[in-house]
Structures are given as C-alpha cells and as structure tokens.
Chain A
C-alpha cells in the first residue's frame, strides 16, 4: 500500500509538539488531539490504522462517559485505565504516523536535529516497537496454542509462575533477536 508523503521534518516536529501538549492537556483536549491524529492518518492514506484508532478513540470515550456515571467502586476502577489510555492515544496515533516514514529518511531528519547517531536507531525502534510487538505476540500466541497452552489451561492456576516461562520468555527471545538484528543494521548502515 502506498501512502501520501508528508515531509518527514514536519512529521517529527508535529510529533514533538503533540508529545509536549500531552503533558498539559485535559481529557477533552486529549480526545481532540486523538481525532486530529486520526485525521492525520487518513490524510496520509493510512485508512486501516486510521479506522482502527478512530474506533478505539470513540469506544474509550463512550466507556469513560459510562464509567463516570457509575457509583460502583469496582466498575469505577476502570476509570483510571481508560484515562491513561486516553492520555497515551495521541502519542500512539502520531507514533503510527511516524512509522509510515522510511527509516533512512527518519534518520536523516534526526541527524539534521543533531541527535547523536547511537540514539537515532533506539528512538526509531522504540516508536515502532508497539506495532512490531503486536505482530510478535500474535505469532507467539499461535505457537502456544499449537502446544495446547491457551490461557484457560488450568496449569497456570496451579503454577502461576509458568506464565513467565510461556509468555514472557518467548517475547523476550524475540525482542533480543530484534535488538541483535537492529544493531547489525545500525553498524552496517543497512
């Protein structure tokens, strides 16, 4: 799929601006920023992620309205979760938008900002990691299911620490492999 190109320099400036705003905005303003991010994705032609985040934004705002009306303590617990998600949404959406820029272009813009060479790859990968991780987790889940280790398996209730073995270890293995591959790429500029 091809995306409409927005100048990477402008994209990074927008991202930095959005992150700075995130520290100070209220929930309503956060909602507006998230919608702005969705529109930004649509302008770039990224319709699938745009639609996904539009649904997430609308769903979370609906949930928040419902939670605010409840007097039940346990349902009220969801309030802070949704609030945190709401606060992070603009950063996540604009992070997806940055992910549409080819790595070499991002690095050249970062170099023009005088960001140290060693830090550039870490920042780029950190921003894209959420998207990479969701693909990795999907594959790990498939592999686990073929071994009959679904989360409903009673073994997890008898020995909860096995969750670390079956969930965390494969994720860490893949992350470690990713780090090794990326460091080779960084050293060889490839």
Chain B
C-alpha cells in the first residue's frame, strides 16, 4: 500500500485531541506541584512535561509524518494564548519548527525512538523555559495581571535572573523529557503494541 505523506483527517484529529489531552495533563500536574513555585520554580516544568512524553510519543508514532510536533506545539500555543499568554503562541511556533528540524524530514525519523526523544527533549526544554521567557519579555506587570503576589513575583524574578537556575531549568527539563520518552517507550510496548494500537505503524 502506498504510504500517504500528507496529513489526513485522522492525523488532524489525532494531533488536536492528543494536544488537548497533553494540556490537561500539564495543567493538572501544574496544579499538583504549584506548591513548589516559591521553592523551585524552574523544576516544575520538567515534572509537568514528564507524563506528557507518553502522549507525545504515542501521537508521534501514530501520525508518523512531518508536522506532527509542529501541530502539537501550535495547539498548545493556541491554548496558552487563550489563557492570556499570547506571546507563547509565536514562541510555540518557533519551538515546533526547531523540533521538526531535529526530526530532519526523513520519514524514518518520525518513528525512530532516539530522534523523537531528542526532539521532545529539546521541545520540552524550550516550552519549560517559556515562563522565564514571558518574564523577560513582559516583565513584572504580566505576573501582576495574573494575580501573583508581590513576594512570589520577587522570588520568580530571582530565579529568572540566576544563571544557575536558568541553566538548571533547561537541563532538568531536557533530561526529564528524554527520561520520560524512555519510560513511555516501555509503556507503549507493554500496553499499546500488545493491544494492537501501534501495529499498522
């Protein structure tokens, strides 16, 4: 059977639904770990993006075409824009393009675990850095608008201006993103391949 390289209706539905689910999981994790905000803000993004790797990897394997990571990033960016963080939309577009460049355009790479883990790791590190990026770009006023308390904004600013925490944020999120993909690969083999959800792919 001839492989279709263009997105089909099924691929569009898959990208949208998995992205919405990824957002819900990220939001739930964000709420659960929000107590860490004043203590270790830069580490939260990595923790939130760890379970999302399972959703991403399943989507990437099932779609297996150029544009899946870009679509995933675009939908998440749109949801963040709706939440009032409009700057994350163009930022997500850039992240999606970087992720697609890492995947390289070769059809084999889209179902290759190492490439996908690397692309997701870089994407996750970029997305995790998004909060700090917002703080650099929009300043304190944005966080005041989001009803953060003054003492919390001060703490967040001290994290965002400390090179140790900035580097730690990028590294920790990247490592957890790749680690999440490694666990997810095992879970996908254990459940989804056995159930036949990844047979045709």
Contact = CB atoms under 8 A, between A and B. Distances in A.
A76 B149 contact: yes
Contacts of B54: 164, 168-169, 172
Contact of B17 (A80, A82, A179): A179
A88 B187 CA distance: 32
A117 B6 CA distance: 14
Interface string B87-99: 0000000000000
A175 B16 CA distance: 11
A183 B12 CA distance: 10
Interface stretch (A34-42, A98-106, A118-126, A140-148): A118-126
B19 to A, nearest CB: 8
Interface string B36-64: 01100000000000010011001000100
B91 to A, nearest CB: 15
Interface stretch (A1-9, A44-52, A63-71): A63-71
Given A22-B82, A172-B58, A179 B13 contact: yes
A168 B86 CA distance: 29
Contacts of B15: 122
B137 interface: no
A79 B24 CA distance: 19
B1 interface: no
A183 B13 contact: yes
Nearest to B18: A175
B59 to A, nearest CB: 9
Nearest to A186: B9
A62 interface: no
Interface in B1-38: 7-18, 20-21, 24-25, 31, 34-35, 37-38
Contacts of B55: 168, 172
A74 interface: yes
B138 interface: no
B101 interface: no
Interface residues of A, number: 52
Contacts of A113: none
A121 B58 contact: no
Given A76-B148, A79-B148, A178 B84 contact: no
Nearest to A75: B149
Contacts of B16: 122-123, 125-126, 129
A111 interface: no
Contact of A164 (B7, B31, B183, B192): B183
A164 B179 CA distance: 14
Nearest to B12: A122
B136 interface: no
A137 B13 CA distance: 20
B152 A125 contact: no
A121 B82 contact: no
Contacts of B8: 118, 183
A77 interface: yes
Interface in B124-153: 143, 145-149, 151-152
A173 B86 contact: no
25 contacts: A71-B149, A73-B152, A74-B38, A76-B148, A76-B151, A76-B152, A77-B34, A77-B38, A80-B147, A84-B146, A87-B83, A91-B82, A118-B8, A122-B12, A125-B13, A125-B17, A130-B20, A163-B51, A164-B183, A168-B25, A172-B55, A172-B58, A173-B192, A182-B13, A186-B13
Interface of B: 7-18, 20-21, 24-25, 31, 34-35, 37-38, 51, 54-55, 58, 62, 75, 81-84, 86, 143, 145-149, 151-152, 155, 183-184, 187, 191-192, 195, 197
